Amino acid sequence: MNNVFKALADPHRRELLDLLYKENGQTLGDLCKCMSMSRQGVAKHLALLEVAQLVVVVWQGREKLHYLNPVPIQQIHDRWIGKFEGERLQALETLRKALDDQNDA
């Protein structure tokens, strides 16, 4: 799970996910055309996305096709964001009250 958060921390990697979202199954070369960075730079980012299992690769001859795997993102939502979401209104209310108290003092 930590790998997923770390992988999502870099804007270039989120951009790669966006590119695969627009068109799934792209090769490294395809993705490089959209990124202003060396091929090896892009490959490194993709490697981290693979470790986090946000991207799954399928070899086809000498081409490496990259596919989006939505499962880890779903898990982040279910196990982590959903938790905060549930108490969202209460947290906001607590915060509002604390700010009010501060203004009174």
Partner DNA sequence: TTGACATGCAACCATATGGTTGCATAATGA
Partner DNA sequence: TCATTATGCAACCATATGGTTGCATGTCAA
Please count the CA atoms within 13 angstroms of the CA of 100 that sit on its side-chain side: 6
- End-to-end alpha carbon distance in the chain: 42
With CA atoms as reference, report the closest residue to 65 among 31, 15, 104, 21: 31
- The dihedral of CA 72, 77, 81, 87: what is its sign? negative
Q: Which of DNA, its own copies, none sits in contact with 34, Cβ below 5 to 8 A by type? A: none
Binding mask 39-68 for DNA (x = CB under 7 A): xxx-xxx--x-----------xxxxx----
User: Min. distance of Cβ 5 from DNA in angstroms?
Assistant: 10
Site residues for its own copies per CB under 8 A? 2, 5-6, 8-9, 11, 14, 17, 21, 24-25, 56, 58-60, 65, 67-71, 73-74, 76-77, 80-81, 83-85, 87-88, 91-92, 94-95, 98-99, 101-102, 105
Backbone angles phi, psi at 26, to 5 degrees: -80, 155
CA 53, CA 39: separation in Å to the nearest integer? 21
Choose the one of its own copies, DNA, none that binds residue 19, judging by a C-beta under 5 to 8 angstroms depending on kind. Answer: none
Binding track over 65-104 against DNA, x by CB under 7 A: ----------------------------------------
